[in-house]
Amino acid sequence: MKLDVNALRYLSKDDFRVLTAVEMGMRNHEIVPSELIDRIASLKHGGTYKVLKNLLKNKLLHHDSSKYDGFRLTYLGYDFLAIKTLVNRGVFAAVGRQIGVGKESDIFEVATEDGTVLAMKLHRLGRVSFRAVKSKRDYLRHRSSYNWLYLSRLAALKEFAFMKALDEHGFPVPHAVDCNRHCVIMSLIQGYPLVQVKQLQNPDTVFERILGLIVRLAEHGLIHCDFNEFNIMIDDEEKVTMIDFPQMVSVSHRNAEMYFDRDVECIFKFFRKRFNINADENEVEHDDSEVDSDEDCRPQFSDIKKASGFLDKELEASGFTRKDQNDIEKFVDGDVEEDLGSDSEETEDEQAIVDQKNDDSVKNFESLSLVREEEDDDLLERKLENGQHIMDH
């Protein structure tokens, strides 16, 4: 999705007030009736209705009259709320080009006031796969009211918390800068996703390094669960950085071993195919059907001395609770169980990747400085700043 931040610059304080009122209404309404929006925003002289029209025109809201008349936030509306908060906090000042389109996210470059370029990941759960959302109906039925903005916010919070904790434990991950609503700001990784890398100077070393990461993660009590060539970045020195953490689980998860083996298998399969690497040096030329012939050389889940409690202690410090983890694990489980039936190579088609070359594109940044406001003294806005109120009960 294109992120046209131009409109953001022209939105007034009242526009944001009404947008925020819709967000607040979504705490317990999938569709928020205009009377409720009006009551929360409490603009003078029925101003809310005029503003609603403007927000609708800018595609920040969606008008829905299927069950009753009302509004809900679009992803763009949610993007703007997160971006405004982060710009007000001084986290960044301009938005640049899109650098990645994941299955359930959009990644953009953003720049701080002093010109440092960072990466902004906007989570978009449920965007692509209606199929997956359908499979989650069981889980969703148990929620009093469901909203994928809530899941996207949870995914962002989880990603931020994991990135921070992993960074602190010396794992090669982006540096987590800040997080708001469904948006994570992190350092920009130089290099390319492994899927785009056709040649390596030392494929064996890179292969060992990547496998070593899976093992070290497990030793810390964690499994990535989506450890593949799309989520590993390689720079010119062949340094490895792992990204994309919303689906990580604990080694005590009931399917832990299966997830672990699947991560390992992904790496074996990719390196065999792309770099002709087999861990077993005695093997000559593999044929793709002999998938299990290097089985013995693989790290075994049962051999790993696993730590426990990592999730609880470190992650809760970042505001990510055990309940959040359970909520999102249920959601991710649905995906994984479906994936098992399908060919993993499908990911290649589903995932469009924008050319990763980090050219000198700062000139293309759209400055957002006009949006920035001085310390907000508006109580409502301050209370809502963290967007914690969407379906968080």
Task: Give the type of residue at 63.
Answer: H
Q: With left for phi above 0 and alpha for psi between -120 and 50, is residue 314 left, alpha or beta? A: alpha
Q: Does 126 bind ligand ADP (CB under 6 A)?
A: no
Q: Does 96 bind ligand ADP (CB under 6 A)?
A: no
Q: Does 3 bind ligand ADP (CB under 6 A)?
A: no
Q: Does 231 bind Mg ion (CB under 5 A)?
A: yes
Residues that bind ligand ADP (rule: CB under 6 A) add up to a total of: 20
Dist. CA 328–CA 322, nearest whole Å: 10
> Of 76, 82, 189, 248, which lies in the binding site for ligand ADP, with binding defined by CB under 6 A?
189
- Residue 335 is a catalytic residue: no
> Of 121, 182, 220, 306, which lies in the binding site for ligand ADP, with binding defined by CB under 6 A?
121
Dist. CA 246–CA 269, nearest whole Å: 23
For ligand ADP, the closer of residues 22 and 225 by Cβ is: 225
Tokens of 354: 């924008």
Residues contacting residue 203 through CB under 8 Å, at least 6 positions apart: 271, 275, 277
> Of 104, 314, 324, 329, which lies in the binding site for ligand ADP, with binding defined by CB under 6 A?
104
What's the order of all strands across the beta sheet hosting 105-111? 176-180, 183-187, 117-123, 105-111, 94-102, 366-367
For ligand ADP, the closer of residues 230 and 320 by Cβ is: 230
> CB nearest ligand ADP: which residue?
102
For ligand ADP, the closer of residues 51 and 328 by Cβ is: 328
Q: Residue 128 to residues 99, 165, 265, 351: CA-CA distances in angstroms?
A: 18, 29, 25, 10
Q: What mask of x and - would describe binding to ligand ADP in positions 334 to 363, judged by CB under 6 A?
A: -------------------x--x-------
Is residue 376 within 8 A of residue 90, CB to CB? The reply is no
Task: Choose, from 226, 244, 263, 333, the residue flagged as catalytic.
Answer: 226
> Of 70, 77, 102, 221, which lies in the binding site for Mg ion, with binding defined by CB under 5 A?
102
CB of 80 to ligand ADP, least distance (A): 20
Q: Does 94 bind ligand ADP (CB under 6 A)?
A: no
Tokens of 197: 């890398």
Instruction: Name the residue among 198, 189, 261 with its Cα closest to residue 225.
Output: 261
- DSSP string of 108-162, one letter each residue: EEEE-TT--EEEEEEE-TTSS-HHHHHHTHHHHHTSSS--HHHHHHHHHHHHHHH
Q: Does 147 bind Mg ion (CB under 5 A)?
A: no
Q: What mask of x and - would describe binding to ligand ADP in positions 225 to 244, judged by CB under 6 A?
A: -----xx-----------xx
Catalytic center residues = 226
